[in-house]
Structure 1
């Protein structure tokens, strides 16, 4: 079905499902178990970084990649300017700005304010599969980035 032929309510529901997936992704990375973000991708899903040639293909590889993050990492991502565009009745694309605050070596408690380690945007494609919208591809573009700080002993 052509995206223009969609009922306005169906279009709104599909767009909201994709927006929610973007938010669920960062919430899972920051507050959940990072490896579980793999379940938000199609089985053949792809995550790539525009610079540096890093590419992770397939749900199992995505799970392994994110599950290998340091257990003492504290991160918070802020997403904004989410723009979802339906490209058909079962596919969509989106652009999302993000800012990442992150440190390794966190043992608990509140930290003094820090500058973000990344500012950029995601370019996503989505596919509706079995009544559920999933990420098919995510490309990460960093406009500002630096190393993740490691906290010293308290």
Structure 2
């Protein structure tokens, strides 16, 4: 394999990992939150750097993300997604995020914009499984955070 082919494979791998981060956000905000589990390896992990909270495996991930309040409105912004391909089957990334969310949403009314509920960054590791890139581990680092406001409260 020549250097051009290596560079192209690395570029495609980095883009696939970046797309995973964006698909996760889309599913949480505009799709079916429980389906986020499908973006992880079967033994995938989501954990919080502070507090030791950890969710492991697709079943637990689906239950966690599927268990969010039905009246929650959220929008996440992710930026500065920096992917490094480590090998043909592994990669890691750092991305920054800000989350806006409220509970008690009434889809018939426009919600005034709240301040961000949290902001920070993620450290992700990816693994290629049967030709598909998946999240193997996501570690959340909160720089700023607070409770989710309740609309109308």
Q: How does 1:11-30 map to 2 (within 5 A)?
A: 11-30=10-29
TM-align CA RMSD: 1.5
Give the Cα–Cα distance (whole angstroms) in 1 for the partners of residues 24 and 106 of structure 2. Answer: 24
Which residue is 1:118 aligned to?
118
Deviation of the 1:52 alpha carbon = 1.2
Partners of 1:6 and 1:89 within 8 A in 2: no
Give the Cα–Cα distance (whole angstroms) in 2 for the partners of residues 144 and 6 of structure 1. Answer: 42
Deviation of the 1:5 alpha carbon = 10
Which residue is 1:152 aligned to?
152
Which residue is 1:101 aligned to?
100
TM-score (norm 1): 0.94
Secondary structure of the 1:38 match is helix
**Unpaired segments ≥5 residues, structure 2:** none
Q: How does 1:6-45 map to 2 (within 5 A)?
A: 7-45=6-44
Alignment partner of 1:80 is 2:91: no
Give the Cα–Cα distance (whole angstroms) in 1 for the partners of residues 20 and 96 of structure 2. Answer: 15
Secondary structure of the 2:87 match is coil
Give the Cα–Cα distance (whole angstroms) in 2 for the partners of residues 110 and 8 of structure 1. Answer: 47
Give the Cα–Cα distance (whole angstroms) in 2 for the partners of residues 15 and 110 of structure 1. Answer: 37
Alignment partner of 1:62 is 2:95: no
**Unpaired segments ≥5 residues, structure 1:** none
Partners of 1:46 and 1:57 within 8 A in 2: yes
Deviation of the 1:91 alpha carbon = 0.2
Give the Cα–Cα distance (whole angstroms) in 2 for the partners of residues 24 and 121 of structure 1. Answer: 17
Moved over 3 A (4+): none
Deviation of the 1:110 alpha carbon = 2.2
